[in-house]
Amino acid sequence: MGRVGLMLLASVATIALTGCATNRTGAQNADYANYSGPQIQASVADLSQRYARDPRNKVLGIHYAAALRAAGQVEPAVTVLENLVSAHNGDPEVGLAYAKALSAAGRFEQALRVVDNAMNPITPDWDGLSVRGAILDQMGRPAEARQAYTQALLLAPQEARLYANLGLSYAMTGELVQAEANLRKAASLPGATSKVRQNLALVLGLQGQFEPARALYAAELPPEQVRANMDYIRALLTQQDRWQAIRNDTPS
């Protein structure tokens, strides 16, 4: 995964593919994307031992797979979820977690089939719609992705992650005014993460708003990372087709 993927598409690939705390069970609270490196390593070590003792435990398995994904170990995460699917066939939470793992591994067509099977088409879950949108964005199908996000927002109109994903969808097609508007909305809502604010900073920087971008980064990152990010933005602006570069660097 390249630097653009880390900076711009983190919300599409991880925030959109993690759980949330709103009206959800422990299985869907599995979110390690915003942990520090040492925290992720400690979580993987702890969950690995617990999972080995109880590999059929649904909540434990979903958490372990999410921690593995946050650590960049996407194929082991897929394996964990495949085992859970066998043990909990037809469980929608397991299916959604499996779709997230498949998407992280770059297996988008399979992930889309799994997430569609996991959702009730009559009463879809907003989190499932968000995951569906993230997968479609990474498949280069932004119109369908935005339709999924918009439908999800009807169900969860104050969910920061949905506005963040919608903003990043527009960023990937170079529609920066719309990207900024949605990322600003996301940043203003409860539940907005540091990655949301960093992605807003990147979108501002890509519009030449360097000082506001720098200020946002400085509130989130140490000085050396702020400098590196600003240097990267300037380098990206010199590319002839930066939007294709962003799409090609979508994380797996």
Cα diameter, the chain: 53
Token pair for residue 5?
């993927």
**Calpha distance 166→170 (Å, rounded):** 7
User: Which tokens belong to 71?
Assistant: 């650590």
Query: How is residue 117 annotated by DSSP?
Result: H
8 A C-beta contact, residue 167 and residue 203: yes
Question: Residue 160 in contact with residue 177, Cβ under 8 Å?
Answer: no
Tokens 């797996």: give the residue: 252
The pLDDT of residue 183 is above 70: yes
Total tally of structural domains belonging to the chain = 1
Range of the domain at 79: 3-248
Q: What is the rounded average pLDDT for all residues in the chain?
A: 85
Q: Each residue of 111-137: pLDDT tens digit?
A: 999 999 999 888 899 999 999 999 999
Residue range 25-45, pLDDT digits in tens:
355 567 787 788 899 999 999
CATH number of the domain where residue 83 is located = 1.25.40.10
% of the chain at pLDDT higher than 70? 83
Measure the N-to-C terminal CA separation of the chain; round to a whole number of Å. 7
Report residue 199's pLDDT band, with 50, 70 and 90 as the boundaries.
Answer: very high
pLDDT of residue 3: 38
User: What is the pTM (predicted TM-score) of this model?
Assistant: 0.81
Please give the structure tokens belonging to residue 86.
């066998």
Per-residue buried b or exposed e for 86-118, using 16+ beta carbons within 10 Å of the residue's own CB: eebeebebbbbbbbbbbbbbebbebbbebbeeb
Judge whether residue 85 has pLDDT over 50.
Answer: yes
Nearest-angstrom CA–CA distance, 63 and 49:
12
Show the DSSP H helices in 139-175 as ranges.
142-155, 160-172
What is the phi/psi pair of residue 215, to 5°? -65, -40
